[in-house]
Amino acid sequence: MSGGNGAFFEAMLVRVAKQDVRLGMYVHAIEGSWMDHPFWRSRFLLSEQSQLERVFASKVEYLVIDAARGLDPSQLAPVLDERTAKSERQPLSARERITELRRAASTIKRSKVAVMGLFEDARLGKAVQTASMGPIVEEISQSVSRDPSIILNIAKLKTKDEYTYLHSVAVCALMINLGRSMGLDEGLTQEIGMAGLLHDVGKMAIPETILKKPARLDELEMETVRNHPQRGYEILSASAGVNETALDVCLHHHEKMDGTGYPQRLPGKALSLFARMSSVCDVYDAVTSQRPYNTPWSASHALQLMQGWEGHFDPEVVDAFIESLGILPVGTLIRVNDDRLAIVTGESSSDFTLPRARIFYSPDRMYDEPLLDIEVSRNKGGWSVLGIEDPAKWGFPDWKRTSRAIITRKSN
């Protein structure tokens, strides 16, 4: 992303039709009467999905974008093309999946070695060579574009010694997948992937005795750990060629929307979109990682809980993240292919992007007994999801309570 030299930008103004406006662009002016546009300011960075939606819904036809302060419209592929490509992506055949499994495993191995090398330099107090990580981000990005679930599934398994490195690789993959799903252009997607790869470099400034301590940390040790975003920011600032996004994400990935995060206790409105994205990707990988002596949360359970943590994440980013993974959180009301209603209870053991669900309701017979537990599959003739349903429309006013009651009931 251009810009970042702080004090002075020479404006590069481009007139852009409303439908071509994207997150990350800097609005310089909005054409037409101020009464027709939904913002009281006319110069600002489009950093939130809700702002973009307000633009789309407004009477405004054209906006003037400053390409020097944000995304350059001339370098973008059309949004629709990317979204169509995503929705039309065919699932891999069994043979292609095996090939991709091998490719993704070797990508992860190579990435881990590269991250270890770079982090080792940081540990020794050397400037880090981030340019060498470009091809690694590219390779991860390609694997994500072929099938994100494969590389993400492999990156879940982490031994204690390799945790920090593989966590970096996983956050890189998650950021790329989320960015692409949100319609960010490829250049910016690679940039946030790089930011994901580097976000925890400050952990190298923490003594290993603390980093790998199997017991609970005392207050002083916690303080040292909480210092890692600041230390990482210093390491990256002292290194050549590190972009603003990586610095931002490194410093702010532990901030929270309600201002109770660290190190700066910034409120949500002071956090960039990329920082808000990184905090979701970071926590999701941490809680779903499979480590020795640590039972991970399933993806669908993690997403359900993360949705409920008020004040921690940006809810719009959480929704976008859920959509990017294509995983239904536990508790989601769905309609399955025999037209009955079911509640998501977890994920398939063979493919974490497919849900397990409990059928409990037929539109004609109301509550359906006995409860039937099913696993959605890709096989022809197997269970599939027809759609996500709105509980209020089906007469479930307190869905949280109803869903909890159904999930905890024993099935026959």
What does the binding site for Fe ion look like in residue numbers (CB under 5 A)?
A: 200
Which residue's C-beta sits nearest to Fe ion?
200
Decide if 2 contacts 68 (C-beta within 8 A).
yes
**Of residues 73 and 202, the one with the C-beta less far from Fe ion:** 202
**Residue the block writes with tokens 């849900």:** 355
**386 CB-near residues (< 8 Å, 6+ apart):** 334, 335, 336, 337, 339
In angstroms, give the least distance from the CB of 382 to Fe ion: 40
In angstroms, give the least distance from the CB of 254 to Fe ion: 6
**Of residues 28 and 254, the one with the C-beta less far from Fe ion:** 254
Decide if 216 contacts 224 (C-beta within 8 A).
no
Decide if 142 contacts 150 (C-beta within 8 A).
no
**CA-based nearest residue to 274, from 255, 302, 300, 258:** 255
In angstroms, give the least distance from the CB of 201 to Fe ion: 9
**100 CB-near residues (< 8 Å, 6+ apart):** 92, 143, 146, 147, 150
Tokens standing for residue 21:
């406006």
In angstroms, give the least distance from the CB of 32 to Fe ion: 44
In angstroms, give the least distance from the CB of 24 to Fe ion: 23
In angstroms, give the least distance from the CB of 158 to Fe ion: 15
**Of residues 66 and 200, the one with the C-beta less far from Fe ion:** 200
Question: How far apart are alpha carbons 230 and 264 in whole angstroms?
Answer: 9
CB-neighbour burial class of residue 263 (10 A; exposed 0-12, middle 13-18, buried 19+) = middle
In angstroms, give the least distance from the CB of 162 to Fe ion: 16
**Of residues 266 and 407, the one with the C-beta less far from Fe ion:** 266
**Of residues 66 and 255, the one with the C-beta less far from Fe ion:** 255
Taking CA atoms, 174 is separated from 235, 262, 352, in Å, by: 23, 22, 15
In angstroms, give the least distance from the CB of 174 to Fe ion: 14
Tokens standing for residue 362:
């037929």
**Of residues 263 and 267, the one with the C-beta less far from Fe ion:** 263
**CA-based nearest residue to 44, from 30, 27, 60:** 27
**Of residues 185 and 200, the one with the C-beta less far from Fe ion:** 200
Tokens standing for residue 401:
């309570």
**CA-based nearest residue to 252, from 230, 222, 275:** 275
**Of residues 22 and 254, the one with the C-beta less far from Fe ion:** 254
Tokens standing for residue 411:
């099935």
The 3-state DSSP class for residue 17 equals strand
